[in-house]
Amino acid sequence: MTQEKDKQGISRRDFISATAIAGVTGAGIGSGMVGISPAFAAKESGNATAIHPGDLDEYYGFWSGGQSGEVRILGLPSMRELMRIPVFNYDSATGHGITNESKRILGDNAPLNGDAHHPHMSFTNGQHDGRYVFINDKANTRVARIRCDVMKTDKIVNVPNVQAIHGLRLQKAPRTGYVFCNAEFRIPYPNDGSNMEDAGAYRTMFNAIDGDSMEVAWQVIVDGNLDNTDADYDGNYACSTCYNSEEGFTLADTMRNERDWAVVFNIPRIEAAVKAGKFTTLGDSKVPVLDGRHGSELTAYIPIPKSPHGLNTSPDGKYFVANGKLSPTVSVIEIARLHDLFSGKITEPRDVIVAEPELGLGPLHTAFDGRGNAYTTLFIDSQICKWNIADAIKSYGGEKVNYIRQKLDVHYQPGHNHTSMGESNEADGKWLVSLSKFSKDRFLPVGPLHAENDQLIDISGEEMKLVHDGPAYAEPHDCEIVHRRKIRTKKIWERDDPYFAETVARAKKDGITLETDNKIIRDGNKVRVYMTSVAPSYGLNEIKVKKGDEVTVTITNLDQIEDVSHGFTLINHGVAMEISPQQTASLTFTADKPGVHWYYCQWFCHALHMEMRGRLLVEA
């Protein structure tokens, strides 16, 4: 039956369905397109969200996995989850944390948990270059690097002398360069239990990690608790928000002051001080530590109201925007004025602020569209506020001008938000994602622990239009949206890949040619098993060992066809791994159970996939 259409081509069924859903969810007129289906909203918006079979998304979205410790890849605008990258977590699907290769990355005695917050892609000259994504682990004071060609974690560094790496952003020019990261919580020095009640002994630091070597390059001591950070487009400055200027221990202690700080770090001066040896070291660490507290020539403290949170750099490179959190304002810092502040031409730090627009309750993070507009999440108001930077500057200068363009309801309590390509100088102003912390009535109830709500907003026109709601598990704290042209992934592994280079070196010592040999080498109670895999069979269908043997199984996948991954799972032994085409992977376990134990391929690879198996025979 043909549906009646209005002049816009929208069927009555579409309209009635959308109206009904909006009524059920309580979305009012001020909510824009809140609560309606993506298909309907796409017709009203300038961007198309429907991605049909065979079509590809335009953008990669890198989502932090929050308390799961992983990174997730979504396609935009479909908002489909494409892949999960284990980083700080243990993953039975791929064997991350189980294989010898991933254990070398995680390190000895690696924690069982992770709290992944801020994923950000590397830069060359202010543009994303598709090499790496970096992310922090707040829970265990670590930073990880993900290779974007294979979407695997390849390096993790533990940051010494500090606790709780939180805000993380990257040097944008000339390239990354440095990974800048804030240690949030203050700890006493030395932190050996000898002086735990003296607040004056507590410190935290701003940290720079070399993105190539993944070693900590230097650390700068600051006053207060560091929060979020970002960098300029010239390689001169990084800026971090800082709360708890009171340097207290309790909530009440940290709420007294009406202003805290944005701390600006002069990168050339810091590098010069390190080169000149003007630093100290702490404990067993060899990392240079510099003093950046009030009065230092390395830093500048700009008073910001109140307990500022997000810190974001505009894509034109002109401004840092510090979000007030407990103030309805955001503070716009003109980066060009920082030269005069550090040279002494400007003596009052607040004089580098060129706008302080009042936006609403609970401003947390700001994103940009590349057209002069900014989008700030209002946590208390559950809104996104679109405002114009130039008009905000005029208003700060005394002109009567309305800088707010629109407010859009989101559901509920948004934290981070990001625009497509908005963290680079190629911001394209097509999409905005709001990571809403509470979902309440948005989805089917699943018990006391609720999903969160990722919401996709079309910003290509003059008005923001909400086009998608999507549940997300385990606080996707932050995300970044990168155009697909920036990323080139491998379809199959290269045999000389450094990811499994140590395993290949071990095989060479044993006289093994991984591409052809299927052999068992016995060295006392250590047994090394080498075998190949080609769908649907392993090179060895039987492995004989003795009880108590330490067994290392190394498998090379000889398939050269995209999407033919194999696996190795040993029944009742808690070990599994993924071996994708041309990859070598290995794992080690103790054969402590006599008898027959089957191993099998857990990644579907062939019509005879069920028959891809073998026996581990453990002699008593």
pLDDT tens readout for residues 217-269: 999 999 999 999 999 999 999 999 999 999 999 998 888 899 999 999 999 99
Question: For the chain, what percentages of helix, strand and coil (3-state, to nearest 5) are there?
Answer: 15, 40, 45
pLDDT tens readout for residues 102-141: 999 999 899 999 999 999 999 999 999 999 999 999 999 9
Q: Where are the domains of the chain?
A: 160-356, 498-619
SS3 for 441-473, per residue?
A: CCCCCCCCCCCEEEEEEECCCCCCEEEEEEEEC
Q: Evaluate if residue 68 carries a pLDDT over 80.
A: yes
> What confidence tier does 11 reach under pLDDT thresholds 50, 70, 90?
very low
Average pLDDT over residues 382-392: 98
AA identity, residue 559: D
Extract the tokens encoding 417: 């938000």
Output the pTM of the full model.
0.92
Extract the tokens encoding 156: 């993790």
Q: Evaluate if residue 416 carries a pLDDT over 90.
A: yes
Q: Evaluate if residue 19 carries a pLDDT over 50.
A: no
Say if strands 289-291 and 215-222 run parallel, antiparallel, or are unpaired.
parallel
Q: Evaluate if residue 40 carries a pLDDT over 50.
A: no
Q: Evaluate if residue 544 carries a pLDDT over 80.
A: yes
Q: Evaluate if residue 38 carries a pLDDT over 50.
A: no
257: left (phi over 0), alpha (psi -120 to 50) or beta: beta
Closest CA to 112 of 140, 77, 143: 140
Under 8 Å between Cβ of 165 and 185? no
pLDDT score at 422: 98
Extract the tokens encoding 87: 């980083």
pLDDT score at 254: 87
3-state secondary structure (DSSP) of residue 365: strand
Q: Evaluate if residue 446 carries a pLDDT over 80.
A: yes
Extract the tokens encoding 608: 């005879």
Per DSSP, what are the bridge partners of residue 589? 551
Extract the tokens encoding 118: 């801020």
Extract the tokens encoding 81: 């989850």
How many helices and strands in the chain, by DSSP H and E?
7, 40
pLDDT score at 348: 97
pLDDT tens readout for residues 317-375: 999 999 999 999 999 999 999 999 999 999 999 999 999 999 999 999 999 999 999 99
What is the C-alpha to C-alpha distance for residues 536 and 540, in angstroms, rounded to an integer? 12
Closest CA to 543 of 484, 613, 485, 602: 613
What is the C-alpha to C-alpha distance for residues 95 and 121, in angstroms, rounded to an integer? 25
pLDDT score at 23: 36
228 CB-contact burial (10 Å; exposed 0-12 / middle 13-18 / buried 19+): buried
Under 8 Å between Cβ of 162 and 142? no
pLDDT score at 290: 98
Q: Compute the mean pLDDT over every residue in the chain, rounded to the nearest whole number.
A: 92
> What confidence tier does 51 reach under pLDDT thresholds 50, 70, 90?
confident
pLDDT score at 12: 29
Give me the architecture of the 160-356 domain, per CATH. Answer: 7 Propeller (2.130)
pLDDT score at 617: 98
Sign of the CA dihedral running 582, 587, 591, 592: negative
pLDDT tens readout for residues 449-480: 999 999 999 999 999 999 999 999 988 899 99
Exposure string (b/e) for 448-468, b if CB count within 10 Å is 16 or more?
eebbbbbbbbbbbeebbbbbb
Q: Evaluate if residue 182 carries a pLDDT over 50.
A: yes
With tokens 């682990």, the residue in question is 137
> What confidence tier does 7 reach under pLDDT thresholds 50, 70, 90?
very low
What is the C-alpha to C-alpha distance for residues 477 and 364, in angstroms, rounded to an integer? 12
What is the C-alpha to C-alpha distance for residues 381 and 311, in angstroms, rounded to an integer? 20
Give me the architecture of the 498-619 domain, per CATH. Answer: Sandwich (2.60)
pLDDT score at 253: 87
With tokens 């735990």, the residue in question is 196
Least confident of 294-298, 419-423, 445-449, 523-527: 445-449
Q: Which residues contact 188 (CB under 8 A, 6 or more apart)?
A: 195, 196, 198, 201, 202, 203
Average pLDDT over residues 414-442: 97
pLDDT score at 476: 86
What is the C-alpha to C-alpha distance for residues 305 and 303, in angstroms, rounded to an integer? 7
Extract the tokens encoding 604: 């579907």
What is the C-alpha to C-alpha distance for residues 514 and 519, in angstroms, rounded to an integer? 10
> What confidence tier does 45 reach under pLDDT thresholds 50, 70, 90?
low
pLDDT score at 134: 98
Under 8 Å between Cβ of 158 and 114? no
pLDDT score at 523: 96
